[in-house]
């Protein structure tokens, strides 16, 4: 007869078994609670750090854009200053050349005066007298020598001022070039993002490089460069005015030696040249206005074209909406808006077309006026040439004024045509 086998080992009671199950369930609940708590903290941390990173990147991008705007504003300021200083250097160079030409021209006057004195030394007997002619010739020699010395001083001053202007320009150009490089780097920084292929970890990126300057120092440097350039340009303008005035004064001192009979003819030539200058000024202004008006007409036509395209779009939208089915074909706010838009665009196009017609009429009137001005310039130019031919018939040695008194505008940096009526008598 077979016997019942009993598995050896420890035996647990039913309560113990139940307690063990309860313990396992409680531990599982606790572990799930802990896991859920950690997950919630992780999610909150992810959200917080993600938002913080996005805001930080946004703030950084904003600061970079603000910095780019600031640097670009200074770049534009320095560029304008560079343009102004280039114009000033060119203007001062022309005035310096004018002073040199005037100085060189005085040599001929001096030679003529000395030659006249030498000729008069050949007088004999009672004719060897210190008469008013000799006194005037001796006075002329002194005046010429004095004017030459003054003009030479002005030429030296202009040379020194040109050196200062070029030095200031070099500093401006260096600062402008550095700002261009900075703008390129900062714009490159703005373009970086997480998908850029050239981003990587760097060694000690938060270090402060040698030669780093404070923001105030950076602003002061650019401001100082600009202020110095403006100061040198202001000094150059004053110097050009002084040089032009010196040339005019020296010529005025020599005017006493001119022939009295030339007065009326010279006055006529000056009046003619003034009228020509005024007409040329009117001609240039009219040409500028014609260019502006033509550009305005082009802009009006372009606007008409654009508004026409807008009107086509509005018409198409209205027409398309007419195919809405059944009850959908209602006059909703979009329909009213499109209708108002069409009416507004049609009124706008009519106003633009009217303004284009008015502008074209004004342009035609400007062309008629320009033709009238140019015709008058031709008449006066012919008259001036005739008067200059009369001046050329003089028997005595005369020197064209362009060798003595180049008419340079010290304020507008422009050089007018020489006035052939102002002559120096040998």
On the question of pLDDT at 403 being above 70, the answer is no
CA-closest candidate to residue 144, choices 173, 116, 186: 116
On the question of pLDDT at 176 being above 90, the answer is yes
**Under 8 Å between Cβ of 168 and 232:** yes
On the question of pLDDT at 259 being above 60, the answer is no
Lowest mean pLDDT, pick from 107-111, 132-136, 329-333, 413-417: 413-417
Region 95-117: mean pLDDT is: 79
On the question of pLDDT at 345 being above 50, the answer is yes
On the question of pLDDT at 212 being above 90, the answer is no
On the question of pLDDT at 171 being above 50, the answer is yes
Q: Count other Cβ atoms within 10 Å, centred on residue 411.
A: 9
On the question of pLDDT at 8 being above 70, the answer is no
Predicted pLDDT at 132: 53
**Under 8 Å between Cβ of 191 and 68:** no
On the question of pLDDT at 41 being above 90, the answer is no
Mean of the per-residue pLDDT values of the chain = 79
On the question of pLDDT at 119 being above 90, the answer is no
Task: Give the tens place of pLDDT for each residue, 364-393.
Answer: 998 989 888 888 787 777 656 655 644 454
Predicted pLDDT at 271: 64
Predicted pLDDT at 422: 37
From residue 64, how far is each of 76, 189, 202, 214 by CA, in Å? Answer: 18, 8, 20, 16
On the question of pLDDT at 412 being above 70, the answer is no
Region 175-191: mean pLDDT is: 90
HSE-CB for 318 with a 13 A CA cutoff: 15
On the question of pLDDT at 69 being above 50, the answer is yes
Region 162-183: mean pLDDT is: 93
Q: What is the pTM of this model?
A: 0.54
Lowest mean pLDDT, pick from 133-142, 241-250, 378-387: 378-387
Predicted pLDDT at 416: 42
Predicted pLDDT at 239: 92
On the question of pLDDT at 155 being above 80, the answer is yes
On the question of pLDDT at 233 being above 70, the answer is yes
Region 279-294: mean pLDDT is: 89
């Amino acid at each position: 007869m077979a016997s019942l086998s009993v598995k050896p080992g420890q035996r647990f009671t039913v309560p113990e078994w139940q307690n063990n199950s309860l313990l396992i369930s409680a531990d599982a609940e606790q572990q799930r609670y802990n896991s859920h708590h950690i997950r919630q903290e992780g999610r909150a941390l992810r959200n917080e750090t993600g938002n913080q990173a996005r805001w930080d990147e946004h703030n950084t991008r904003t600061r970079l854009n603000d910095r780019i705007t600031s640097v670009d504003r200074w770049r534009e300021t320095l560029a304008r200053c560079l343009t102004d200083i280039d114009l000033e250097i060119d203007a001062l160079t022309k005035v310096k050349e004018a002073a040199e030409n005037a100085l060189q021209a005085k040599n001929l006057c001096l030679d003529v005066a000395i030659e006249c004195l030498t000729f008069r030394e050949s007088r004999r007997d009672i004719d060897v007298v210190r008469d008013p002619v000799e006194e005037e010739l001796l006075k002329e020699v002194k005046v010429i020598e004095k004017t030459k010395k003054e003009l030479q001083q002005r030429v030296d001053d202009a040379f020194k001022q040109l050196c200062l202007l070029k030095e200031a320009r070099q500093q401006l150009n260096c600062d402008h070039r550095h700002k261009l490089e900075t703008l390129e780097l900062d714009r490159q920084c703005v373009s970086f993002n997480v998908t850029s292929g050239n981003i990587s970890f760097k060694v000690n990126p938060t270090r402060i490089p040698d030669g780093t300057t404070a923001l105030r120092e950076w602003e002061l440097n650019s401001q100082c460069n600009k202020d110095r350039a403006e100061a040198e340009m202001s000094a150059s303008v004053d110097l050009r005015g002084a040089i032009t005035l010196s040339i005019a004064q020296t010529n005025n001192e020599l005017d006493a030696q001119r022939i009295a009979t030339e007065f009326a003819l010279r006055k006529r030539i000056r009046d003619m040249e003034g009228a020509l200058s005024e007409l040329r000024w009117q001609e240039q202004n009219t040409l500028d206005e014609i260019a502006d008006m033509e550009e305005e007409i082009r802009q009006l036509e372009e606007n008409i074209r654009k508004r026409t395209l807008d009107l086509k779009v509005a018409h198409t939208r209205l027409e398309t909406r007419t195919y809405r089915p059944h009850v959908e074909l209602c006059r909703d706010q979009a329909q009213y808006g499109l209708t108002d838009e069409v009416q507004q665009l049609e009124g706008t196009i009519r106003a633009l077309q009217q303004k284009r017609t008015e502008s074209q009429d004004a342009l035609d009137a400007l062309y008629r006026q320009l033709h009238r001005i140019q015709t008058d310039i031709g008449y006066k130019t012919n008259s001036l040439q005739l008067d200059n031919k009369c001046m050329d018939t003089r028997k005595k040695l005369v020197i064209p004024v362009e060798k003595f008194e180049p008419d340079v505008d010290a304020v507008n940096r422009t050089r007018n045509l020489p006035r052939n009526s102002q002559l120096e008598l040998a």
